[in-house]
A and B are shown apart, each in its own frame.
Chain A
Amino acid sequence: MQITMLQAVLIALWTGVCLAGMLLGIYTNRCLVMATGVGIILGDPVTGLAMGAVGELAFMGYGVSQGGSIPPNHMGPGIVGAIMAITAGVPVETALALSIPFAVGFQFVLTATYTFATTLSGFATRALDKKNFRGFRIAANTTVWVFFIVGCIIGLVAALSATGLEAVINLIPGWLSTGLTVAGKMLPAVGFAMILNVMAKKELIPFVLLGYVLVSYMGLGTMAVAITGTAVALLVFFNQNKAAAAAAEDEEVVFEDGI
């Protein structure tokens, strides 16, 4: 499939907006949102949605930077992966595995941008020294525009090199693309394990087991799992309150005895 100039420009703008949304904190910089947009722009929302879903789950824990390691960026599967899945027609799992190097590369670009933006604090201080409040406000809003432009460039390059990407993908031998698809189906494990690592305290192990049973044995859908989880969580919550109230009463009794 050929990407038209209009589509390329739209993908560029979409990537820019999504990336700027990362600083605004509006969660547009997630794979699920970005890939859906690319799918709609390229006229294949179904593949876009599937790519977004697979990438979102695989990358879920990657918003979390641990120990100074650089987590791969959602733009990898969300933009490049979606373009590969739609234009070259590779399975979304393969596209996910193929987009990982881009995801790592993009994160380095963003780190470089933050570092470069350090000059802004100098600008702002100098502007304030001169009581130039307008200059200060411009400095305080520059990073988000730089992010928008960086996003546009990444989106445009990705869209324009789609034909090249397709050619490269066609060179991949059969055994390797099968292997990449297998790897793509295993990759969500990393994202899930990362997020469970930050969320799961010992007290939450019962809920890990609950989720496993509900899905693997009972084959329930996500909403059913969420509602069951809510039911059990509320039970725990109310019992905790009751226990706290009981504990408070006990203390009072002890106090009276003391008198």
Chain B
Amino acid sequence: MVSNALTKADFIKTSLRSYFLQNGFNYGNYQGLGYANMLYPALRKMYKDDDDALQAVLKENIEFYNTNMHFVPFVTSLHLVMLENGTPSSEIRNIKMAMMGPLAGIGDSLSQFVLAPLLGTIGASLAYDGLLLGPILYLLGMNIVLLIVKILCGLLGYNLGTSIIGKMTSEIEKISNVASMIGVTVISGLAFNFVKITTPIQYAASVPGTEEQQIVSLQSMLDAIAPNLLPCAFLGLVFYLIKVKKWTTIKLVLLTIALGIVLSVLHIVA
């Protein structure tokens, strides 16, 4: 029999155990082992003397699972609430599985595609100037934000139950939209700071009416049209190859290295 033994502290503890979600990661059930392991202490407390029930619920939950590890506390909190309320396990599984995809989508886009690039570019540009603050800011910033996300998700699941999924999704989407606007600005700016392509091509032009020859450098002509024109063009090319031609990373990297060497040997870029 399930006892309503869990306190708020148990929910927070379970949320923090999301750091261990991938400790048993494998290509068989992905985060399955980790998911069950996250719940383990809380389950042990719920089924104090009932090893059979503990065994059953753990076996149910080592099946395939794969979501974002910072948002997963929302699922585990709901899971524990539902277990305490005696929700049938098939229903719990449906909800758990239904949330896997959306949470992975929101979580990955927030952490990997927004937060990490944003703090990563800022940290990297500070580090480039020789400031140790860069990596420290990056590491602390990422971890503090993600820790808050974990705890908030855990508490949300505990307090609000299943009805809130839709509202939470739209709120997070708004925040994530603002963050990606900032991120895209910074990333696009830094791309032009860090991708350095210049051409040493020069030619001699005779100045009309005199015998004098003037050296004209192609680079200064390009700069007169728009600054960073060559990095712009190359970024555009790479973007096109990814988006339209679906090139893989390795192909792109090899192309870049080959281009760099060939163009440098031909003295077209420096």
A residues bordering B, Cβ < 8 Å?
A: 23-28, 30, 32-33, 36, 45-46, 49-50, 52-54, 56-57, 60-64, 66-67, 69-72, 97, 100, 104, 114-115, 117-122, 124-125, 128, 131, 133, 136-137, 139-144, 175-176, 178-190, 192-200, 204, 207-212, 214-217, 220-223, 225-226, 228-230, 232-234, 236-237
Contact = CB atoms under 8 A, between A and B. Distances in A.
B contact face: mostly helix, strand, loop, or mixed: helix
Nearest to B30: A114
Interface residues of B, number: 104
Contact of A121 (B29, B139, B143, B238): B29
A195 to B, nearest CB: 5
Nearest to A114: B27
B172 interface: no
Contact of B59 (A63, A125, A230): A125
A232 B185 contact: yes
Contacts, number: 345
23 contacts: A27-B143, A30-B120, A36-B127, A36-B134, A49-B128, A52-B135, A60-B121, A61-B249, A114-B25, A117-B27, A118-B26, A124-B24, A124-B62, A143-B26, A179-B265, A185-B196, A186-B260, A189-B256, A192-B194, A207-B184, A212-B232, A221-B125, A226-B118
Contact of A49 (B25, B40, B130, B179): B130
Residue among B114, B174, B177, B194 with max Cβ neighbours from chain A (10 Å): B194
B181 interface: yes
A49 B132 contact: yes
B49 interface: no
B69 interface: yes
Contact of A25 (B24, B70, B123, B265): B70
A134 B216 CA distance: 76
Nearest to B181: A233
A104 B260 CA distance: 19
Contact of A208 (B26, B130, B188, B263): B188
B27 to A, nearest CB: 5
A216 B227 contact: yes
Contact of B128 (A53, A142, A226): A53
Contact of B190 (A184, A199, A215): A215
B185 A189 contact: no
Contact of B185 (A57, A144, A207): A207
Contact of A57 (B124, B262, B270): B124
A32 B239 contact: no
Interface stretch (B50-58, B94-102, B157-165, B201-209): B50-58
Contacts of B259: 183, 186
B252 interface: yes
